[in-house]
Structure 1
C-alpha cells in the first residue's frame, strides 16, 4: 500500500501557523500578566518613608542662625525653585531617556545584564533616575538580584503614582552630594553659598557630577577632578542639545567660587541662644528630637543678629584675657514685646556650654526695685524718709538679722527712697521690707515674672534668693512698661516642612502693677547714674536717658536696666565659689552693660521715659522734705502720684516777712526732649 507523504512546504506552513498562534497566545498571556501586575502595583500603596530634612533656625531679620541635621543636611524645595540647568545636567548624565521610559531603560538594562552575566557579578549599573529614587527611599544599597527586582517593581509604582516632574523633584531633593548635604538646595548652599534656583550652568554641571562619587568628585577635596567631571557633563548636555558648543565652553571657563567651609569658621553666632531655642522646641512646645533635627522645621526667632554681634564683641573686649575663669551672662529684650534680642551665656561656648542667662545667682541689690515697686503701691512715696544707721532687725519668733551698708558706711540720718535707690542703702531697704512684710514682696516678684522660689525673709530685700538673669530682665521690663508684664519670647513661629504653622507666639501684656508707681520708680532708678550713684562711674559712656540698678554679693556683680526701647541685664562672676573683686571685677558688669546699651541703640534717637496721667512734678527742698521756694539752695525735682506730694513750703531759707514763692516745675522741653528733636542718625 502506498503511503502518501505530506509535502514539506505544507508541513512547514502548519508548524508556522501553530507557532504564530502560540506566540500570539503567549504575548496575550504576557500582556495580560503585565496588565495584572500593573493593576496590582497601582492598587498597592508605596512603602512608608520618612525623608529627613534639615531644620532651619532664623534670626529676626531672616538670616539663618543655624541648621539642624546631625549629618544629613536636607532642605527640600519645589522644582520651580531649582535652576533648570541643574535639572538638565542631572538628566543628561544620569538618565538621558528619563522623559521617555516607564521606570527603567530596556536598552541600558539589557547591556547591564549582558555585562553582569559575562562577568558573573553585579558590575554594570543601569539604574534610571526613578530606580535610584526607589532605592534611596525604600531599599538598601546591596547589589543583589533580589534588591534589583524590588527596585524595578518600586520604580514602576513610582511611575504609576507620580508624574515625571514629581519624580525628578523627589530625586534631586533626596540624593547625596557629599559633606552632609542631601538634596540640591543643601548642596548649593554647602558648595556655593546660594540657593538652588540661583545656580549657574557651570555650578549646575559641577553639582550634577558629585553624586557619582560624593567624596571623589567633591570640589572641596579635588577641584581638578571635579572640573574633569564637570566637562563630561557639559559635553553630555551639548550632545543632547541642552547647550550649544559655545555655551558649554563658556560654562567650563567660568571660575568656580566655592563657599568657605563651615568647619573653617572661628565661631558660630549666638551659640547659647541656639541651645536655648532647642530646649524650648523640645520642652515647651513638645516637639521630639527626631522631628526637631530631621523634620525640616522652619523656626523663626526674635534674635537681632546685629545686636547679638555687638554683645559678643563687647563681652570679648571687656573681660580680661588673663582671667579665663571669670564668666558673664548678658540678655537683652524689647520691653514692649518681650522679644529677646541678644543672649550671651558665657565667654567661651567651646569651653563651657552652660548658659548662665538661665543659671540662678543671688541678685543682690538689683532685686531692690521689685521691693520698692511694692512699697510705692503700699503707702510709700519717693520722699518717704527713714534713718539709715546700724540696725538689728527681729523677725520670725525673735530671729535676728543685722544687715550692713557696703563698706560699713551709714549716713546716720534720714534719707528718702530716691537717695536709697541711688546709693543702694541696705538699711533703708530692710526697713522697707520689714514694713511691707516679706511675703508681699515675694508676691510682687512673682507678678513681675520671677518664677524661682523665694524665701519670705528680711534678707530678701538684699537679693538673697537666687534668680536667673532672664527672670530679672523680665521683671525690669514690666517696670519700664508702666507695670505691664511681658513674657520673654525667643520663638515667634515654627512651621513644618509643608509650611503648616505649628507654633505662633505673640506678645502678651498683663497689668501687674500700678502705672503711676512704676513710672515713679523708673524716675528714681535714673538717679543710679547720677553723681553719687552706684552706676555713675559708667554714666559718661551713655548718651541717652537710662535707668537701672546695680547689685553685688561676695560672688556676683550685676547691672540691670533699661531705656524705653531696650532692657538688658549683665551678670559677672565665677561658676564656682570664688569671690568677685568688687573694684576690679565687679565694675566689669557695669562697663559691659553701659557699652552694650549705647552700642545696641546706636542709630536710634534718645528716648524719654514718659509719665502717665496721675503724676505731678514739684521741686523739693531735700533737707526739709517740703516744697522748695526760690530761696532754697539745692532744690530737687521729684515726681509723685497726684495728691501724695508735699503741701507745705520750706520756710528755712525765706527772709523774714517775705511770702514764699514756689519754684515752678520745668516745662516739657527738657534737655533730652531737645536732644530728641535735634538728633539725626549721623550725630
Structure 2
C-alpha cells in the first residue's frame, strides 16, 4: 500500500496571557469604591424614604392623651375669688402673652438656647453632654430640650432608661410637627414644677410674689426660672441663699446669650425681692355653699368630681362674699359654740333668684351636713302666709274676723275633730282680724281659715310656691306640721317679695373652662305663681310681725327698713322667714336629732335674721314695697272694720285691700275725706308710697 505523505508539524500554542480591557477602563479598586458608593447612596435613599414616611406617620398620629391637672376656682357675684379647689396641684393655665417676657428669655437662656432652631432634639447639646459625661464617667449633664422635657412631663415617667429617652425624643419630634414653637413654650411654662404643690408660672408667681406672671420683673423672673432645677434646693422657702445664687446664675447666662445687658443684670441682682410668706390654706369663707356649687356644677356639666376639681374650671356664682361674712358672723354670734344647738341661713335676691348667702351649720369642720336642705323640719307658723294668701284669693280681706278662743274644729264631714292651741295657751278671747292673727300668730284663726277655704287649695298654693314635701290637706297643715326645708321656705317667701313671681333659685351664673370657653350659662325659670295684688296685701299685713305686739317686735329696732316676715316655732324648731324688696332670708335654729328647744332658744332665729338683713343691706337705702295695680290702701277703723274719720277709734290704721274689697262706709255717719283720712281708690298712703318708690 502506498504510504500517505507526511503532515507538516504544527507549531506549539503560546502560553495564555491576562485579558486587558480597552485603554482608560476603571481599575478594580475603583469599581469596588463605586459599588460601595452605590450601596450607601441606595441605603441613604431608603433611610430618607423611611424617615419621610415616619415623619408623615408621626404627623398624622394624635399625640397621647394627657390629663393636665389645673385647679378649678369659684368666684362670687362681684368677681372676687371665693376659693381655689384643692386637687392636690396648684395650677393656673395662662397664654404666653400673659407671661412676662423676662420669664421667656430666662427660660430659653437657662434651659434651651437653641429652642427656636432645633426639631425637638438638639444634636449639638447631645454631643456636648456626651463629651462632658465621658470625661466625668457619669451623667453630670443632660441634653434634653424644652420640647423633650415637656414630652416627658406630659406623656412619660422619669425613669432613666434608653427606652424612655427614645420615646421622649419621638414624642418631642411629633410635638414639633403638630405645634408651633410658641405653643410648646407656653405649654412648658404652664407645666413645670416649682415645689409646694405648685405647677406653672402663673401659680408660682402668685405663690412667691402675689402677682400675675405678666407682671414679673427681671429679678423675679430669674429667681422663679431657677427654682425648677431643684425646688427643694432652690426654693426661697427652703434656702434663700441657694435661691439667690441660682438667680444670679440665670442672670449671668442671660447676659452671655445676649438676652439682657450686663447693666440690666446687675440691677436685677441688686434688687431686693419681696417673697410672700408661705401661708397655710385658709378655711373656706363659704364651705357649705362651695359643696353645693360642686354638686350643681357636676350635675350641670355631666362630669365627675375629679374632673370638676382638676379641670381648671372657673365657676362664677351668685354668692355675695360680704353678705356671706355677715351671715356667718350672725349665726356664730347667736348660737352658743359649746352646745349642740345648730342653725342655718339661706338668703336670696327675690328679683332674680340669686343665692346671696348660705350657712348650713355653725361649724363645718365638725359637721358637713347642710341644714339649708334638711327636709325633716316642720316650718310651724312660718307656713301660715300660704293659708292667708289662699284666703285673700278667695274673698277674704285683712278685716275678716275670727274669734280667738279655745275651740275644737270638726272636719271630714263631721267625722273627725281637731283642737289646736295657741302658744302658751294665750288667746285674745275676742274677734280678731287677719292682720292681728298674723302679727300674734294666732293658731285658732289659721285653722278656721284653712277649713273655710279648703285645705287642698292651700296645698296647691304651697306647691306653686315651691314647697314640695308631703303636704296633706288636713287642718293641721295651717300650723306647719308638714316638713319643709329652709331652701324651700326662702324660695317661696321670695316669690311673695317679688309680687307673686317665683324665680328659680340660682347659685351658678356661668362656668368656663381653662381656655375661657363658656360651658354653662344660667337661664333661671321665672313663673307667676300668684297675682301681684294679693301678694302685696299679704306682705303689707306681714310687716306687722315686726311692729309692737308682733312675734318679732323684739328685733324691730335692729331693722331700719320696711320688712315683712313670719316667725315659726315648734317643739324642736325655731324659724324666722322674711324679706325686703331686695332680699329674702330664712333662718332655722334647732337640734339635729329633733331634741326639743327651750324658750330662750326659740327666740334666736329672729335676731339672726334681723342682724343679717340690716348688715347685708347696710349700703342700700331703705325701700318701700312697691304697690301694684289692683290694690287700694285706705285708713280704717279696726274696731268697726269701716273707713276711719276723726270720730273713730284712736287705733285707726292704713290697710291695703284688693280693689273692690275695701270698706265703703265710715265708722260714723260723718266722712272726713279732706281731713287726712283716705277713702276709695285714691288715698294719701298710695300717694306717699308712689312718691317714695319714684
Q: Is the CA contact (8 Å cut-off) linking 1:487 and 1:509 kept in structure 2? A: yes
The separation in 1 between residues aligned to 2:525 and 2:684, in whole angstroms, is 35
Alignment match of 1:441 (pick from 453, 458, 464): 458
Q: Does 1:403 align with 2:420?
A: yes
1:195-214 map, 5 Å: 195-214=212-231
1:275-674 map, 5 Å: 275-321=291-337, 323-360=338-375, 361-396=377-412, 398-582=415-599, 584-632=600-648, 633-651=650-668, 659-661=670-672, 664-665=677-678, 667-668=684-685
1:159-238 map, 5 Å: 159-238=176-255
C-alpha displacement of 1:207 = 1.8
C-alpha displacement of 1:27 = 4.8
C-alpha displacement of 1:260 = 4.4
The separation in 2 between residues aligned to 1:123 and 1:243, in whole angstroms, is 28
The separation in 1 between residues aligned to 2:569 and 2:36, in whole angstroms, is 103
C-alpha displacement of 1:453 = 2.6
Number of equivalent positions: 665
The separation in 1 between residues aligned to 2:114 and 2:174, in whole angstroms, is 18
The separation in 1 between residues aligned to 2:429 and 2:525, in whole angstroms, is 45
SS across alignment from 1:70: coil
SS across alignment from 1:263: coil
Q: Is the CA contact (8 Å cut-off) linking 1:206 and 1:227 kept in structure 2? A: yes
Q: Deviations over 1:498-539 (max 9, x none)?
A: 333222113432111121100000000100111010111010
Q: 1:668 to 1:415 in 2, by over 3 A?
A: closer
TM-score by length of 2: 0.90
Q: Deviations over 1:392-431 (max 9, x none)?
A: 1233473432211111100111100000000111111111
Structure 1's unaligned 5+ residue stretches are 5-9, 652-657, 678-683
Q: Is the CA contact (8 Å cut-off) linking 2:294 and 2:305 kept in structure 1? A: no
SS across alignment from 1:141: coil
Q: Is the CA contact (8 Å cut-off) linking 1:337 and 1:508 kept in structure 2? A: no
Which region of structure 1 is more displaced relative to structure 2, 563-572 or 415-424? 563-572
The separation in 1 between residues aligned to 2:218 and 2:339, in whole angstroms, is 50
Q: Is the CA contact (8 Å cut-off) linking 1:606 and 1:672 kept in structure 2? A: no
Q: Is the CA contact (8 Å cut-off) linking 1:606 and 1:675 kept in structure 2? A: no
Q: Deviations over 1:608-651 (max 9, x none)?
A: 11211111122222112122221113212111111111223223
Q: Is the CA contact (8 Å cut-off) linking 2:102 and 2:221 kept in structure 1? A: yes
The separation in 1 between residues aligned to 2:655 and 2:549, in whole angstroms, is 17
SS across alignment from 2:577: strand
Q: Deviations over 1:134-192 (max 9, x none)?
A: 11121121111011111111111111111111110111122222222222222222333
Q: Is the CA contact (8 Å cut-off) linking 2:439 and 2:544 kept in structure 1? A: yes
C-alpha displacement of 1:47 = 2.0
SS across alignment from 2:110: helix
C-alpha displacement of 1:333 = 1.1
The separation in 1 between residues aligned to 2:416 and 2:231, in whole angstroms, is 74
SS across alignment from 1:174: coil
Alignment match of 1:43 (pick from 33, 37, 60): 60
Q: Deviations over 1:352-389 (max 9, x none)?
A: 11111111311111111122111111121111000111
Q: Is the CA contact (8 Å cut-off) linking 1:606 and 1:676 kept in structure 2? A: no
The separation in 2 between residues aligned to 1:28 and 1:243, in whole angstroms, is 45
TM-score by length of 1: 0.91
What does residue 252 of structure 1 align with? Answer: 269
The separation in 2 between residues aligned to 1:260 and 1:344, in whole angstroms, is 30
What does residue 7 of structure 1 align with? Answer: none
Which region of structure 1 is more displaced relative to structure 2, 512-521 or 568-577? 568-577
The CA RMSD over aligned residues, in Å, is 2.7
C-alpha displacement of 1:284 = 4.5
What does residue 655 of structure 1 align with? Answer: none
Q: Is the CA contact (8 Å cut-off) linking 1:607 and 1:672 kept in structure 2? A: no
Q: Could you say which structure has the larger radius of gyration?
A: 2
Structure 2's unaligned 5+ residue stretches are 1-14, 20-26
C-alpha displacement of 1:257 = 2.7
Q: Is the CA contact (8 Å cut-off) linking 2:626 and 2:689 kept in structure 1? A: no
Q: Is the CA contact (8 Å cut-off) linking 1:545 and 1:672 kept in structure 2? A: no
